[in-house]
Structure 1
Amino acid sequence: MCNIGQDALTTARYAGTCSSTSPDEPRLNQDLYTRFACVLHFMDTHLDEDLPLSRLAEIAGVSRWHFQRQFAALFGLGVYEYIQLRRLKRAALQLAFRPGQSVLDIALESGYAGPEAFARAFRRQWGQSPSGFRQSPRWHDWHYTYLPLYTLRNRHMTPLRPLQPEIVERAATPVAILQHQGDPALLGQTIRRFIAWRKRNQMPPSTHATFNVLYNDPYTTPAAQYRIDLAVACPPPVVGGDEGLVADVLPGGRYARLRYTGPDETLGAAIRALYVDWLPYSGETLRDTPLWIERVRFYPDVPEHQAISDIYLPLV
């Protein structure tokens, strides 16, 4: 359980969101990881605020004189390095996928006094200016820079709340899909093409649902074999244009539907928990079709911890 001392936020707010490491580790280490996982969660949900060390150390329940060293020893990142990575990741996605958002607004949201300081930090991180990244992102560098961040958050922020999917029946859904096959580091390029097609065909997320069909895990699959389909609800016919979208159908039938709220880094942990913790005891049998998710609320339109995805696990 997270201890946040005299902070106005209550400990109960964090119950169920902070996790420990594997059960075979010493109990002391589990408690330590759990308390510091609460710090990660707090930083993620207060990314736009000042985050003084004294406040973070209080949440961890450790002396402020030792907090920084313990954080770095546990996670392999300095506390302010972690905060900067989180903020610059959001900024990069806003630059790439939200062309109507000004660089100045993105800089201010990222905690910088102005575009010059933001540009210096951004260039140090990526070797590109914010405007250069917006025009032509170096997705490969971006992806592999954030792999350690993905590993850190996926390991230490797995929810402990019991999974409670609901069994639902869905009708078949006609969609237009854009397949991404190959290196997951280049998925950002495919997403930009997908967004461009939707804008040209006037299919915003507010009126046309967005789906991802997940064939395998980008972090455990050889890059050449990785596949994900980006899909939008769309009745036929589909005119794919230069982007290459084609008509398809999300199969109807029975599904276990689990609503997941939070960042994509821990979405995979929720999916694994469905397979490992829920399915064996559910009495259900999987259908021979890939699982898919519906994107209900999008990051970076909302903060990562407020993004909502409905996971659909196909059942016989």
Structure 2
Amino acid sequence: MKAALQNYQARMRRVLDFIDRHLDGDLDLEAVSGVAAFSKFHFHRQFTATFGLTVHRYIQLARMKRASHRLACIDAQSVTDIAMDAGYDAPDAFARAFRQRFGQSPSSFRKSPDWAPWLAAFGPLDNARSKLMHTTYTRDDVTIRDVPPTAVAIMEHRGDRATLGETFQRFNAWRKAAGLSPETSPTFMIFRSERIPAVPADYSMDICVGTDQPIAANDVQVKAGVIPGGRCAVLRAVNGASNNLEPEGLFLYRDWLPASGEEVRDFPIHSKRWLSFFPDVPVHEVVAELFLPLK
């Protein structure tokens, strides 16, 4: 029974991975059910029972999430092109669906996103993915490295995670103005609190970009800092896991650390993103490394 369940879940994971990779394609029921080798006459009920969303609804949300990221982050892409990429035949239909879901028009969201309803709207999608789209790690997935100190520019986020999107938007605008692209200047996130603290206002994280260029003393958005070098346990996360590194952090603290004989150093756990963020690259190509500082 256990082996049969694992096989079933693996087939469903293939479906979500296929959808991630083909958001621009024709994701009809026959194509999607064929990936899992399930009958199309039963697949939609199996999918809904597993993920709590219909296949059609899941694809809609995945496309809309990518579209909203593109609106907020990629100024060069027009609203019309984003609407077409999201599967809408006309910008007006996209605008109506977008306003109904987020309470803003696409153009208004592009200028000033309201991230609280955005987070609420994609709760069902995140819940669906969290059921099966996770990686099981082993001790062999962790390496211990001596890493050099890294000079960074730091933008602090303090307060409810619901406003984190606004901080990222300011961070992306600042780094773009400073000429620090993700391809040449890595992105770091220093996690100074739990991902979901008991008091939402206690959430704390630093968003950083690797750079040794001087930071103006009167720059109120960022400050210069250094991520200290030293020994670190490093776990590589792929397939979009860098959108939520809590499972990786739990593995390092709960499973790897007690059995390793190592002791942690007095600096927070942090991550390094390679290359670009979603939606600049597809979700399945996003890669991050998580660093647990050791003595």
What TM-score does the superposition give when structure 1 sets the normalisation length? 0.84
Note if contact 1:140-1:185 (Cα within 8 Å) is conserved in structure 2. yes
Find the counterpart in structure 2 of residue 190 from structure 1.
167
Structure 2 counterpart of 1:69: 45
CA deviations over 1:101-151 (Å, ceiling 9, x no partner): 211221222222332332232222212211111012110100122223223
**Per the alignment, do residues 165 and 113 of structure 1 end up closer, same or farther by CA in structure 2, a change over 3 Å counting?**
same
CA change 1:32–1:216 in 2 (3 A) is farther
Does the 8 A contact of 2:195 with 2:246 survive in 1?
A: no
Deviation (angstroms), 1:161: 5.3
Q: Which residue of 2 aligns with 1:249?
A: 226
Q: Which residue of 1 aligns with 2:149?
A: 172
RMSD: 2.3
How far is the alpha carbon of 1:241 from its aligned partner? 5.1
TM-aligned CA deviation for residue 279 of structure 1: 2.6
Shift of 1:265: 4.3
Match of 1:282 among 260, 278, 281: 260
Matched, 1:302 2:281: yes
For residue 78 of structure 1, what is the aligned residue in structure 2?
54
Is 2:271 aligned against 1:293?
Answer: yes
* 1:176–1:95 distance in 2 versus 1, CA, 3 Å: same
- Whether the aligned pair in 2 keeps the contact of 1:154 and 1:269 (CA below 8 Å) is no
5+ residue gaps, structure 1: 1-24
- Name the counterpart of 1:22: none
Specify which of 132, 144, 148 is matched with residue 108 of structure 2: 132
Contiguous gaps of at least 5 residues in structure 2:
none
Q: Which runs of 4+ in 1 moved over 6 A?
A: none
CA distance in 2, matches of 1:306, 1:78: 25
Tell me by how many angstroms 1:82 deviates.
0.7
**Cα displacement (A) at 1:290:** 0.6
Residues 104/243 of structure 1: CA separation in 2 closer, same or farther (3 Å cut): farther
| Separation in 1, partners of 2:280, 2:198 | 29
Residue 78 of structure 2, aligned match among 70, 84, 102: 102
Count how many residue pairs are aligned between Structure 1 and Structure 2.
292
Q: Residue in 2 aligned with 1:152?
A: 128
Query: What one-letter code is carried by the residue in structure 2 that aligns with 1:270?
Result: E
Letter in 2 for 1:182: G
Answer yes or no: is 1:35 the counterpart of 2:44. Answer: no
Moved more, 72-81 or 38-47: 38-47
1:66 maps to amino acid: H
Identity of aligned residues (%): 43
Change (3 A) 1:62 1:199: closer
The question of whether the paired residues in 2 share the 8 Å contact of 1:126 and 1:141 is answered with yes
Whether contact under 8 Å (1:213, 1:228) holds in the other structure is yes
Q: Is the 2:197–2:203 Cα contact (8 Å) retained in structure 1?
A: no
| Secondary structure of the corresponding residue to residue 142 of structure 1 | helix
Q: What amino acid is aligned across from residue 112 of structure 2 in structure 1?
A: S
Aligned equivalents of 1:234 and 1:266: distance in 2?
Answer: 25
Q: Which amino acid counterpart does residue 159 of structure 2 have in structure 1? A: G
For normalisation by structure 2, the TM-score amounts to 0.90
Deviations 1:66-123 (A, max 9, x none): 2112211221111111111111111111111112221122122222233233223222
Q: Secondary structure at the match of 1:65?
A: helix
Contact 1:150 1:265 (C-alpha < 8 Å) held by counterparts: no
Give the CA deviation at 1:244. Answer: 2.3
Q: Deviations over 1:188-212 (max 9, x none)?
A: 1111111222223222223322111
